[in-house]
Amino acid sequence: MNADTPQIKPIVWVGSSHKDLNAFPRTVQKDAGYALWLAQLGEKHDKTKPLKGFSGVMEIVSDYQTDTYRTIYAVKLEIKLYVLHAFQKKSKRGIAAPKKEIDVIRKRL
């Protein structure tokens, strides 16, 4: 491997995150998959932003029809990408992730 070849971080799926992401609509899976691929290369998709209340944890937000889906990941020690959680946001009020989902993220982190 030469200096021009990007280092691809391996993905570690935590808990049911892989199964949960695979249950999303195909369009959302493709959005999240591409955003995760960019993260593996050390880049950031425009649908990705830091998750409030956490250091080094990012969320991918995908809208499909009238629903919102979130995929949460963390890069640990810059060598691996940990997908911590994937869920459909049910609440129509506010943009914050529900406490139940934050608790899952905190536990898996």
User: What DSSP string runs through 52-77?
Assistant: TT-SSEEEEEEEETTEEEEEEEEEET
Pairing of strands 11-13, 80-89: parallel
Q: What is the mean pLDDT of the chain?
A: 89
Separation CA 64–CA 85 (nearest Å)? 18
Query: 30 is in which domain, residue-wise?
Result: 11-108
What pTM was estimated for this model as a whole?
0.87
Going from the C-alpha of 12 to that of each of 38, 62, 75, 79, the distances in angstroms are 15, 21, 10, 11
Asked, for residue 1, whether it belongs to a domain, the answer is no
Tell me the pLDDT tens digit for each residue of 30-52.
999 999 999 999 999 999 999 99
Task: Classify residue 80: in a domain, yes or no.
Answer: yes
Q: Where is average pLDDT lowest: 15-19, 47-51, 73-77?
A: 73-77
Total count of domains within the chain: 1
Q: How confident is the model at residue 4 (pLDDT cuts 50, 70, 90)?
A: low
- CATH number for the domain harbouring residue 101: 3.30.2310.20
Q: Is the dihedral of CA 100, 62, 64, 13 positive or negative?
A: negative
